[in-house]
Amino acid sequence: MTIGKNRISFFTLTLIWVAFTSATAVAAASLPADRNDDVEWYPVSNNVYQLRYENHYTMFIVTDKGIVAFDPLSDEAAEHYVHAIKTVAPGQPLLAIIYSHWHTDHATGANVLRREFGNDVPIIAHERTLARLKELDDETVPLPTRTVNDKGKSLRFGNTDIELHYIGYGHTDTLLVARLPKQRLVYVVDFASRDSVGWREMPGWPLDELIAMQRRLLELDFDKVAFGHGRAGPGDRETIKRQTLYYENLLAETRTAIQEGLSEDDAVIRATHDLPQYRGWGNYRRWFQLNVRGAYRWVQENEHLPKSP
């Protein structure tokens, strides 16, 4: 990782709130949610919608000048995304696409949105997302046309302010957190999920930084969280705290196991017994034990704990 921990800075800004008066937006927010097994979308705040495609969620905002769409997810998902946008806000232009980070399971699909709304729709992302995607050279993932550095950026689209914050390298060094100050909502992808365990063995995840990043998130002012993964619907500040506690518990369990000389397999057995509170979480059956293995290996490689005599 090339990003210094001390370079993270939050920008400050003074915002003049614009009264929420858009008749179009009011009508859109009152539409019923639409869903089938693979796809659903629903409002999570004034003029803000989450769209789920299979296990991925994204978010779009209806401003009085048009739509701002986050991660298009995939070409297939983006077809549904177009339908959702046109249903919620018929006839509205797409003002921008914003990639949360470079991972292609979130960033793919902008070609489909642009085909529908115009090839000149800007794509906004962190500057290192641009660098990664240039290296990737995949025509299904069009490159960002405007970039944001570690200082973040405050954007305004019509009556809607969107702040983009870089708060750490806990999940790639390219991830932006979007905050909508008026809606008191943040969009959080991959470094925290809604009451769900981590992905498989959490390969390459710097767990100390992941936890630090979740804590930095709580320094931002918000009430609601739209997540990229996990249980449906928005979360809140407590959801983030539960995520942090989960990773802290995983690390504490595996630290103790390593200090006591337990093997990885035995650490898995004990953590499964010791942490029953996560049995109802998303992906527990699939990935909890893999999470313990990942945490065990991460602690071994990074903390060099002395074994108990």
Q: Give the binding site for Zn ion (CB under 5 A).
A: 103, 190
| Cβ closest to Zn ion, residue 56 vs residue 241 | 56
* Token output for 85: 């946008």
Tokens 């550095």 correspond to what residue? 149
| Cβ closest to Zn ion, residue 69 vs residue 257 | 69
Q: Shortest gap between Cβ of 48 and Zn ion (angstroms)? A: 21
Say whether 234 sits in a helix, a strand or coil.
coil
| 3-state per-residue secondary structure call for 129-195 | HHHHHHHHCCCCCCCCCEEECCCCEEEEECCEEEEEEECCCECECCCEEEEECCCCEEEECCCCCEC
| Cβ closest to Zn ion, residue 103 vs residue 114 | 103
| Cβ closest to Zn ion, residue 163 vs residue 190 | 190
Phi, psi of 40 (to 5 degrees): -155, 155
* Token output for 108: 């793919």
Q: Shortest gap between Cβ of 250 and Zn ion (angstroms)? A: 19
Contact residues for 134 (Cβ-Cβ < 8 A; gap 6+)? 143
| Cβ closest to Zn ion, residue 191 vs residue 281 | 191
Q: Shortest gap between Cβ of 91 and Zn ion (angstroms)? A: 33
CA–CA separation, 59 vs 230, rounded Å? 14
Q: Shortest gap between Cβ of 50 and Zn ion (angstroms)? A: 17
Q: Shortest gap between Cβ of 161 and Zn ion (angstroms)? A: 25
CA–CA separation, 165 vs 210, rounded Å? 15
Nearest residue to 170 (alpha-carbon basis) of 211, 110, 129, 127: 211
Other CB atoms within 10 A of residue 72 CB: 30
Q: Nearest to Zn ion by Cβ — which residue?
A: 103
Q: Shortest gap between Cβ of 205 and Zn ion (angstroms)? A: 10
| Cβ closest to Zn ion, residue 52 vs residue 103 | 103
Q: Shortest gap between Cβ of 74 and Zn ion (angstroms)? A: 13
| Cβ closest to Zn ion, residue 164 vs residue 267 | 164
* Cα 136–chain centre separation: 21
